[in-house]
Amino acid sequence: MLIDSPFRLWWVLVGLLLIGGLSACGEQQANSASAPPASTVIPHSPTPLPTLVPPKNAQEVTVTMGDDGRQIRIKPGQTLLFALDDVLYDHWTITIAGPAILAAQLNAPLPPHAQALYKAIAPGQTTMIAQGELKCAKATPPCQIAPQDFQVQVTVE
């Protein structure tokens, strides 16, 4: 086929560019659908975090997502307020390995964005594990992001 005018040549080039751009876009979209974007991955630090020791006069210690993997030292009578991610997560289930060391304060009023309050009732060491339910897992279609488990070691002394 012979192109007889510069105007037709221009439209042919525009068409080729559009077709090439759309096919590249489709390839990128297909590749990204197989794996979640890198921004959804929450890496764990290979080096342990320093032990969290609150001031002696502090009655409450707030535990956040940044404390994942941390050791926390508190005194009997001090409380742990769990304020974990409530943007991505709908509900958190917190499990304590040593319920004789920390007691859930079930009737205590909680500030906004907090999930639970625990009081140190006896000396000892225990592990607290929190498992969250992702909000997007209930969407249609559900997200393909694995929920992050959260864990802290608590020593009451």
Structure tokens at 37: 């974007």
pLDDT higher than threshold 70 for residue 134: yes
Confidence of residue 98 (pLDDT cuts 50, 70, 90): confident
Across 10-19, 46-55, 130-139, which has the greatest mean pLDDT? Answer: 130-139
Sequence ranges of the domains in the chain? 6-34, 44-156
Cα pseudo-dihedral 43, 125, 93, 117, rounded to 10: -110
Burial 93-120, CB ≥16 within 10 A → b, else e: ebebeeeebbeeeeeeeeeeebbbbbbb
pLDDT higher than threshold 80 for residue 124: yes
Query: Mean pLDDT over all residues of the chain?
Result: 77
Sheet strand arrangement including 79-82: 60-63, 79-82, 116-120, 102-104
Question: In this structure, is the dihedral angle defined by the CA atoms of residues 87, 90, 95 and 99, taken in order, positive or negative?
Answer: positive
Please tell me the distance from the alpha carbon of residue 9 to that of residue 15, in angstroms, as a whole number: 10
pLDDT number for residue 157: 92
pLDDT number for residue 144: 86
pLDDT higher than threshold 60 for residue 52: yes
pLDDT number for residue 65: 93
Structure tokens at 59: 């009655």
Structure tokens at 120: 């140190």
pLDDT higher than threshold 60 for residue 141: yes
Cis peptide before 111 (omega within 30 of 0): no
Class of domain 44-156: mainly beta
Least confident interval from 45-49, 58-62, 122-126: 45-49
Confidence of residue 77 (pLDDT cuts 50, 70, 90): very high
pLDDT number for residue 41: 40
pLDDT per position as a tens digit, 4-49: 555 555 555 555 544 554 444 444 444 444 444 433 344 444 456 6
Confidence of residue 150 (pLDDT cuts 50, 70, 90): very high
Please tell me the distance from the alpha carbon of residue 116 to that of residue 65, in angstroms, as a whole number: 14
pLDDT number for residue 129: 95
